[in-house]
Amino acid sequence: MKKVAGADHSVLFVFLCAAMFSFGQDARRFRADIEAFGRQDDTLNINDYDALVVGSSSVRMWTDMDAYFPGYRFLNRGFGGSQMSDVLYYADELVFRHAIKRLFLYEGDNDIAWGKRVGQVKRDFKKLLRAVRRRTPGTEVYIISVKPSLDRERMGRKKRYRAFNRWAEKYCNRKEQLYFIDVWPSMLNDSGKPRPELFIADGIHMTDEGYGVWAEQITPFLK
């Protein structure tokens, strides 16, 4: 009997793990981050900002973003480890609390890395984009493509990332006030591999040079 019970627990454990990777993490784990953003918002004049940037750790770690774009101020709302489903969960606090007409969005990286299918990520993006169009119809949305990275290359997720980026570009091209910023090609070397100098030791997050590549791709959209 003990052997059977153990087997049942093993099956349950596998099922729970599969569910987590398929449907995403518990968004409530980011509650402290979102509350901290709220406290910051209470001290800010939102009219001082030209754009809102929401995303995962690649956004959160871009702490000197304004320095790359003279004359512009960005409200950084990056929270590390986030997925698109988390942005959806906190959309009121992250997106709709701010009357800023430019929204830059970087998600999908963690979603796919942790096992989500491209179709699920697409559905999450569409839900947010439809909500933006409905609730703040004047907002321009800029989707930053998922970036290549040394770590993700080793994980074997490249095909999924490329598939998501292709979808995002086509989707943006069909919609008004929706733009696709493709950072992927500029982050590859002549062999088609991620450029090592663009990444810090973990092989995921970027150096100043990596953010410089992003800035080069973003700048034309500001002008």
157-194 pLDDT, tens digit each = 899 999 999 999 999 999 999 999 999 999 999 999 99
Nearest to 64 by CA among 55, 73, 51: 73
Query: Torsions phi, psi of 164, nearest 5?
Result: -65, -45
Q: Choose between 49 and 14: higher pLDDT.
A: 49
Q: Once rounded to an integer, what is the mean pLDDT over residues 71-94?
A: 96
Q: Once rounded to an integer, what is the mean pLDDT over residues 137-156?
A: 92
Q: Residue 181's beta-bridge partner residues?
A: 144
pLDDT of 12 above 60: no
Q: Write the CATH number for 193.
A: 3.40.50.1110
pLDDT of 14 above 50: no
pLDDT of 13 above 90: no
Domain carrying residue 126: 2-222
Q: Choose between 157 and 217: higher pLDDT.
A: 217
Average pLDDT for the chain = 89
Is-above-0.95 flag for pTM? Answer: no
How many domains is the chain built from? Answer: 1
Separation between Cα atoms, residue 223 and residue 219, nearest integer Å? 7
pLDDT confidence of residue 4: 36
pLDDT tens digits, 90-135: 999 999 999 899 999 999 999 999 999 999 999 999 999 999 999 9
| Cβ proximity of 54 and 105 under 8 Å | yes
How many other C-beta atoms lie within 10 A of the C-beta of residue 209? Answer: 11
Q: Cβ-count burial of 93 within 10 angstroms (0-12 exposed, 13-18 middle, 19+ buried)?
A: middle
pLDDT confidence of residue 20: 42
